Amino acid sequence: MSNPTEFLALVRGPLFDVAIAIFLFGVILRLTEILALGRKHDYSESRGGEGRGGWTTIWRRMLPDQEKIKRAPGVTVLGYLFHIGFFVCLLLFVPHIELIYNLIGIKWPGLPTPFIDVAAIVAMVSLAALFVNRLIHPVLRFLSTFEDYFLLVVVFLTVFTGYAAFHRLMEPASSALAWHILSVELMLVIFPFTKLMHTFTLFIARWYNGAMAARRGVQS
Amino acid sequence: MSKPTFEKGYNAFKKEIDAPVASFFSSCVHCGICAEACLFYTETGDPKYTPIYKLEPMRKVWAQEYTLAGKLRSALGLGRKLTEDDFKEWEELVYDSCTLCGRCSMVCPVGNDIVYMVRKAREAFVAAGYIPAGMVGAATRAVKIGSPMGVRLKALEAQISHIEEETGLKIPMDVEGAEYMPLLSSMEIINFPEYLSALARIFREADATWTLCSEAFEATNSGIQLGSADIARELLQRVVDGAEKLKVKTVVGPECGHAFWALRWEGPNLIERPYPFQVQHILELLDRFRAEGRIETKGEIKERVTFHDPCQIVRKGGVLEQPRNLLNMIAADFAEMPDHGKMNWCCGGGGGVSSNERADELRIKVFALKKRQIEASGAETLVTACANCRLMLEDGIDEYQMEMPVIGLTEAVADHLLERRKD
């Protein structure tokens, strides 16, 4: 790229459109792949309340639970911190809200930037700690694949480049912003084909889990 | 069964994968929390026992067959394909170190119902011919003789005449139009005949008509544990035929946990139609009799008792309050274990592990958790409501040199029954 302004124009323009297109196509494809499989009719006599059970599980599994904090403190606490920090940055940073408004015409109030700063630092520190935790915890190290580590790096980059762009840690500022947008585009493109999809599919998974348990009279 | 092959195993995986399974694999973030819910991991510290890892062969088939990315990878010769070795390596993980207790399904942050998938994965292991010898033996006896322990009608009849002599009560057999048709598990016939005598006394007191069925008295279903829908269907069909022939209103599942699972939840799906009768677990029935005032008790167990919740009855069967209502009626000092109720820990021998001798050492090792739980309750007597749990608990208590009687809840209720009827 010959100069920073052109680079920014490219990532903001055509690359952004391509990334969004792949993201949307991928997410719809993946959701279709899952739901199209369907499931067999259940002939057993239900104890009732499948729908309610499903929705309750969707909600309940988001809440902290003592056993998880006690038995898996690292991944549980860091997991919460990361998700909260990340979503605060993504959804409550005023320029992000403006971008979303331009895309889909919906907006909401944002937070002053010092709060976003704290959230970004919390997210970055948690991501780094999750990476280390993955390396040292016997179960996590055993389960982890390249994708697990790679995604931590990609998500870290999106937050870090955003933070760097805002605080002008890199010159010129337009380049910093361009790198931020580029890292987000990378995340959008790989999103549907990696475990980042859990953002959407966990609602389906929790619903099935809760509904099947409720059928048998258990709140899962 | 036709000869098992790798292809059949592969196709069985394909057939078993449905929308819930696809949503679960799509959602797993490898957080490892399911390991903390599994007694095989907590007691051994070996990460290979992480529940979701037990499904790696199934995940491979899902990725390869049901995702565009996986199909592309396989077209390019990339991606990890399922191999015969996977079946060989995972057999132990799917059978020896999973009791189908379902605790992992309760804790997964993204909501994966892991045990739902292990149950399905076993179908593929059966189709591919990778199954523990002990479980095959139990299933073969169940199909040929009618019971996994080889108990024939004659043995039951011998116990019946014993009980009739002892109690002076008639045990009805093949009575058409009776309201209740209780089923038994082999263990109850052979190891715990008190159960049948308890039923006779309770039904008399509640003034209910009941009958055993000579063609369908065994409720356990090795096909379910093994993961063979074909065997499961054949065994279940006998019960359905028996109940339909005798035109009973309600089939009463024995205390045995997985028998209840087989009968209540999988059964109608195996025969692909709803039953013309109701199915209740014996504890549900006893609690109803209690609530309706049809049975009352006298006296109480003096020493402190605690209750071991059988996984298939509580966590996977929804019978949670009933045992507590019943125990409170007959125990002066009922104390709960930590993690009791729907988060209770397995006895270690469910899901066919008890009939898989190869897994004995591991099963005893993981019993350490149950030991801690029992000790924390401070109880002197352990009550449960599953013949298999009961045997496993007795075995573990013995191995760990603890001193503690284990009793079945139904017979404990019968022992304290206020017998008002004189006939």
Q: Is the Cβ–Cβ distance between B165 and B45 less than 8 Å?
A: no
Cβ–Cβ gap A205/B66 under 8 Å: no
pLDDT band per the 50, 70, 90 thresholds, residue A4: confident
**pLDDT tens, position by position, A161-174:** 999 999 988 878 78
Helix axes A50-60, A198-215, angle to 10 degrees: 130
B230 or B78, which is more confident: B230
| Closest approach of B87 to chain A, Cα-based (Å) | 19
- B343 and A CB contact within 8 Å: yes
ipTM of the complex: 0.96
B339 pLDDT band, cuts 50/70/90, is very high
Which tokens sit at B81?
A: 């394909």
Check: CB of residue A9 under 8 Å from CB of residue A15: no
Residue B382: its H or E element = strand B381-384
The pLDDT assigned to B146 comes to 79
Q: What is the pLDDT of residue A143?
A: 97
The CATH number covering residue A172 comes to 1.20.950.20
Lowest-pLDDT choice from A148-152, B66-70, B101-105, B363-367: B66-70
* pLDDT for position A2: 59
pLDDT at B262 over 90: yes
Tell me if A44 and B267 make a contact (CB, 8 A cut-off): yes
> For B114, which residue in chain A has the nearest alpha carbon?
A209
pLDDT confidence tier of residue B423, bands split at 50, 70 and 90: low
Q: What is the DSSP string of B94-145?
A: IIIT-----HHHHH-TT---HHHHHHHHHHHHHHHT---HHHHHHHHHHHHT
Q: Tell me the mean pLDDT in the region B256-274.
A: 95
Residue A220 within any structural domain of the chain = no
* Number of domains chain A is built from: 1
- pLDDT one-digit tens code per residue, A51-83: 999 999 999 999 988 888 899 999 999 999 999
Give span(s): CATH 3.40.50, chain B. 141-291
Residue A33 domain-assigned (yes or no): yes
Region A97-122: mean pLDDT is 96
**Lowest mean pLDDT, pick from A17-31, A98-112, A162-176, B14-28:** A162-176
Mean pLDDT of B168-190: 93
For chain B, how far is it from start to end, CA to CA, in angstroms?
A: 51
Q: Residue A22: which domain range?
A: 4-37+67-200
Note the CATH number of domain B6-131: 1.10.1060
Nearest CA in chain B to A48: B318
From the options 3.40.1440, 1.10.10, 3.90.700, 3.40.50, give the CATH code of B141-291. Answer: 3.40.50
Residue B245 has a CB neighbour count (10 Å cut-off) of 13
pLDDT (0 to 100) of residue B78: 83
Dist. CA B249–CA A99, nearest whole Å: 64
The whole-angstrom distance between B20's CA and the closest CA on chain A is: 6
Task: Give the whole-angstrom CA distance, residue B423 versus residue B415.
Answer: 18
Size of interface A-B (CB pairs under 8 A): 172
Report which of B29, B21, B26, B17 is spatially closest to residue B109, judged by C-alpha positions.
B29
Residue closest to B410 by CA, chosen among B204, B196, B259: B196
Of B107, B33, B139, B40, nearest to B348 (Cα)? B40
* Interchain CB distance below 8 Å, B30 and A212: no
User: Is residue B236 within 8 Å of residue B267, measured between CB atoms?
Assistant: yes
The reply to whether B56 touches chain A by the CB within 8 Å rule is no
Give me the amino acid identity at B320. Answer: L
The pLDDT assigned to A204 comes to 98
For the four alpha carbons of B216, B217, B218 and B219, in that order, the dihedral sign comes to positive
**B224 and B261 in contact (C-beta within 8 Å)?**
yes
A-chain residue closest to B72, CA distance: A193
Between residues B148 and B177, which one has the greater pLDDT? B177
Burial of B77 (0-12, 13-18, 19+ CB in 10 A): exposed
Q: Decide if pLDDT at A134 tops 90.
A: yes
Does residue B383 sit in helix, strand or coil? strand
What residues in A contact B275, CB-CB < 8 Å?
45
Residue B32 contacts A, CB cutoff 8 Å: yes
Task: Judge: A197–B109 Cβ closer than 8 Å, yes or no.
Answer: no
Q: Which of A45, A143, A218 sits opposite B342 (nearest CB)?
A: A218
Q: What is the rounded CA–CA span in Å between residue B253 and residue B182?
A: 6
Least confident range from B137-141, B155-159, B406-410: namely: B137-141
d(CA B386, CA B223): 18
Give the relative orientation of helices B321-330 and B282-291 as an angle to the nearest 10 degrees.
60
- pLDDT in the model for residue A67: 85
Cα torsion for A206, A210, A211, A212, to the nearest 10°?
A: 100
Q: Is residue A122, in this structure, part of any structural domain at all?
A: yes
CA gap A215, A210 in Å, rounded = 9
Partner residue opposite B47 with nearest CB, options A142, A198, A220: A142
Q: Is B300 left (phi over 0), alpha (psi -120 to 50) or beta?
A: beta
Tell which residue, B28, B111, B12, has the closest CA to residue A60. Answer: B111
In a domain? residue A212: no
pLDDT at site B79: 78
Is position A61 within any domain? no
**Per-residue tokens: B299:** 């006296």
Query: Which chain B positions have a beta carbon within 8 Å of A68's beta carbon?
Result: 33, 36, 107, 109
Residue A87 resides in a domain:
yes
Task: Identify all chain A residues contacting B111, using CB atoms and an 8 Å cutoff.
Answer: 57-58, 61, 202, 205-210
Looking at residue B1, what is its pLDDT?
54
- The rounded radius of gyration (Å) of the Cα atoms in chain A is 20
Asked whether residue A190 is domain-assigned, the answer is yes
